[in-house]
Chain A
Amino acid sequence: MDSHHSYSQVKGVSTGVSSLFIVSYVSSKTINKLIQVHDRIFCCIAGSLADAQAVTKMAKFQLSFHSIQMESPPLVKAAASIMRELCYNNKEELQAGFITAGWDRKKGPQIYVVSLGGMLLSQPYTIGGSGSTYIYGYVDAKFKPDMSLEEATQFSTNALALAMGRDNVSGGVVHLVVITEAEVKHVVVPGNKLPKFHDE
Chain B
Amino acid sequence: MFPANVSTLNTYNDLYPDWTQREVSTGTTIMAVEFEGGVVIGADSRTTTGAYIANRVTDKLTPIHERIFCCRSGSAADTQAIADAVTYQLGFHSIELDEAPLVQTAASLFREMCYRYREELMAGIIVAGWDPRRGGQVYTVPVGGMMTRQPVSVGGSGSSYIYGYVDSNYRAGMSKEECLKFTAEALALAMERDGSSGGVVRLAVISEQGVERQAILGNQLPKFSTV
Interface residues of A (CB under 8 A from B): 123-124, 133-141, 143-145, 158-159, 162-163, 165-166, 197-199
Given contacts A137-B162, A140-B193, A198-B172, contact A123 B167 (CB under 8 A): no
Task: Tell me the interface secondary structure of chain B in the complex.
Answer: helix
Could you list some 15 contacts between A and B, CB below 8 A?
A: A123-B227, A124-B227, A134-B161, A135-B163, A136-B162, A136-B164, A136-B189, A136-B193, A137-B165, A137-B193, A140-B192, A140-B224, A162-B167, A197-B167, A198-B171
Task: Tell me the interface secondary structure of chain A in the complex.
Answer: helix
Cβ of A158: which chain B residues have Cβ within 8 Å of it? 168
What's the tally of chain B residues with a CB closer than 8 Å to chain A?
22
A140 touches B189 (CB 8 A): yes
Given contacts A141-B224, A144-B226, contact A136 B161 (CB under 8 A): yes
Given contacts A136-B189, A136-B193, A198-B171, contact A143 B226 (CB under 8 A): yes
B167 touches A140 (CB 8 A): no
Contact of A163 among B164, B166, B192 (CB under 8 A): B164
Residue of A nearest to B194 (CB): A136
**Closest beta carbon of chain B to A27's beta carbon, Å:** 19
Residue of B nearest to A163 (CB): B164
Q: Is the C-beta of B220 less than 8 angstroms from some C-beta in chain A?
A: no
A162 touches B163 (CB 8 A): yes
Given contacts A134-B163, A137-B161, A140-B225, contact A197 B193 (CB under 8 A): no
Cβ of B225: which chain A residues have Cβ within 8 Å of it? 140
B165 touches A138 (CB 8 A): yes
Given contacts A140-B192, A141-B185, A198-B171, contact A135 B226 (CB under 8 A): no
Cβ of A165: which chain B residues have Cβ within 8 Å of it? 167
A137 to B193, CA, bound (A): 8
A133 touches B171 (CB 8 A): no
Contact of A137 among B170, B172, B190 (CB under 8 A): B190
Residue of B nearest to A160 (CB): B164
Cβ of B160: which chain A residues have Cβ within 8 Å of it? 133-134
Given contacts A123-B227, A140-B225, contact A198 B167 (CB under 8 A): yes
Q: Is the C-beta of B123 less than 8 angstroms from some C-beta in chain A?
A: no
Most chain B CB neighbours (cut-off 10 Å) among A124, A137, A162: A137
A145 touches B226 (CB 8 A): yes
Cβ of B163: which chain A residues have Cβ within 8 Å of it? 134-135, 137, 162, 166
Q: Is the C-beta of B186 less than 8 angstroms from some C-beta in chain A?
A: yes
Cβ of B193: which chain A residues have Cβ within 8 Å of it? 136-137, 140
Cβ of B167: which chain A residues have Cβ within 8 Å of it? 162, 165-166, 197-199
**Closest beta carbon of chain B to A182's beta carbon, Å:** 28
Cβ of A139: which chain B residues have Cβ within 8 Å of it? 164
A40 to B27, CA, bound (A): 43
Residue of A nearest to B170 (CB): A198
A137 touches B227 (CB 8 A): no
A59 to B79, CA, bound (A): 51
Most chain A CB neighbours (cut-off 10 Å) among B160, B164, B186: B164
Cβ of A137: which chain B residues have Cβ within 8 Å of it? 161-166, 186, 189-190, 193
Most chain A CB neighbours (cut-off 10 Å) among B161, B167, B172: B167
Given contacts A140-B189, A198-B167, 19 further A-B contacts (CB under 8 A): A124-B226, A135-B165, A136-B162, A137-B161, A137-B163, A137-B165, A139-B164, A140-B192, A140-B193, A140-B224, A141-B185, A141-B224, A144-B226, A158-B168, A162-B167, A165-B167, A166-B167, A197-B167, A197-B168
**Closest beta carbon of chain B to A115's beta carbon, Å:** 16
**Closest beta carbon of chain B to A180's beta carbon, Å:** 23
Residue of A nearest to B166 (CB): A137
Q: Which 10 A-B pairs have the closest CB atoms?
A: A135-B164, A138-B164, A137-B162, A137-B165, A162-B164, A137-B189, A136-B161, A134-B163, A138-B165, A133-B160
**Closest beta carbon of chain B to A7's beta carbon, Å:** 14
Most chain A CB neighbours (cut-off 10 Å) among B168, B193, B227: B168
A136 to B193, CA, bound (A): 8
